[in-house]
Amino acid sequence: MTMLTPHFTLEELTLSQTAARKGIHNAPKEGSQEMKNLQRAAETMEKVRAILGDKPILISSGYRSPKVNAAVGGAKTSAHISGLAVDFSCPGFGTPLAICKKLEPHLGELGVDQLIHEYNTWVHLGLSAGKPRQMTLTINQAGTRHGFA
């Protein structure tokens, strides 16, 4: 295991069931910008964990190679491709909506570009290479985007 921070590993931030199922390589090159971004994402997730009362976080998606991103139907501009996005849940804290509401006052200190409540499934936390937009929204089952609800 390659520990990026005390609670997050490179392996969990690059794990992809789709990649494994389709035989797609899903690890960024050593020393690449994507690796640096994954380190930053892990450090941010340590802060998120602290805000959520130091409860364990389950990561469902982190880095996605362009091929994996295409295979899962991700946006061509997805922050996952550059290692700047993490989809996660924290069952010990509460629902994805409760997580988003708890994190919302901390967007600036976390450097969040996007915080998305993926309708009671998971939370998407995206960082940016530039100035973060601090955008918050919910994507409901129909794909409609609106503020937290």
45-57 mean pLDDT: 98
Q: Check pLDDT > 80 for residue 143.
A: no
99-106 mean pLDDT: 96
Beta bridge partners of 87: 61, 124
How large a percentage of the chain has pLDDT more than 90? 88
Structural domains in the chain, sorted by start: 10-146 (3.30.1380.10)
Residue 107 DSSP symbol: H
pLDDT of residue 4: 97
Please report how the helices 96-103 and 33-51 are oriented relative to each other, as an axis angle in degrees rounded to 10: 90
pLDDT of residue 149: 59
Q: Who has greater pLDDT, 139 or 149?
A: 139
Question: Does this model's pTM top 0.95?
Answer: no
87-98 mean pLDDT: 96
30-37 mean pLDDT: 96
**What is the residue-averaged pLDDT of the chain?**
94
pLDDT of residue 38: 98
